[in-house]
Amino acid sequence: MSLESIRAAFRDIPDFPAPGIVFRDISPVLQDGQLFHELIDLVAAPHLSDPPDRIAAIDARGFVFGAAVAYRLGCGLAMIRKKGKLPWKTHAISYDLEYGSNEMEIHLDAVRPGEDILVIDDVLATGGTAAAALRLVEQLGGQVRSVDFVVELVGLPGRDLLAGYTVNSLLKLD
């Protein structure tokens, strides 16, 4: 298995969720135990010798990868969710998207001041959601080590919006 095998398993779905957008469907990778295992090992590899204190995973597909990488690295997991989905005391942030605005939140005790945090999500596109997640972590006192993605869509401005942070992408796609 290889990175090429993982990429070959993706499905490109045209005009989803809107006309003109090509959705990169990772479901076939998740359905294949060997590919999923290799993908998690590849995302975790740069952090094996020095694991973070915690991974902050972004709702919802980021949870799939964040939880598996946290398990692989032996560290904790913090969930960054859409507003109204967490049951305890939270800190929230509003952010703009290319088609409107949204809110995300995190439990107040999910990140402790000074903790080394690795933020994980599935896809870096425009970067708005990731930038908001980084602000949430930092507002709780966490130190962002890097933000890691399975896929980066290089034709979009996501990396530019995350300037000043270490950004790691396993696959870069047009």
Q: What pLDDT score does 18 carry?
A: 87
Q: Is the pLDDT of residue 138 over 70?
A: yes
Say if 66 falls within a structural domain: yes
E-only strand ranges, the chain: 11-14, 22-25, 54-58, 76-82, 90-97, 100-107, 116-124, 143-153, 167-173
**Could you tell me if residue 134 is inside a domain?**
yes
| 23 within a domain of the structure (yes/no) | no
Residue 67 lies in a domain: yes
Residue 42 is predicted with a pLDDT of 97
pTM: 0.95
**123 lies in a domain?**
yes
pLDDT tens for residues 66-124?
999 999 999 999 999 999 999 999 999 999 876 778 999 999 999 999 999 999 999 99
Instruction: State the burial class of residue 114 (Cβ atoms within 10 Å of its Cβ: 0-12, 13-18, 19+).
Output: exposed
The answer to whether residue 122 is domain-embedded is: yes
Residue 93 domain-assigned?
yes
pLDDT computed for residue 98 by the predictor = 67
How many structural domains comprise the chain? 1
For residue 134, what is the domain's CATH number?
Answer: 3.40.50.2020
Average pLDDT over residues 16-41: 94
101 vs 14, residue with greater confidence: 14
Query: Domain of 54?
Result: 48-173
Structural domain includes residue 129: yes
> Which whole number is the average pLDDT over 41-61?
97
pLDDT at position 1, please?
61
Q: What average pLDDT does the segment 141-153 reach?
A: 97
The answer, yes or no, to whether residue 140 has pLDDT greater than 80, is yes
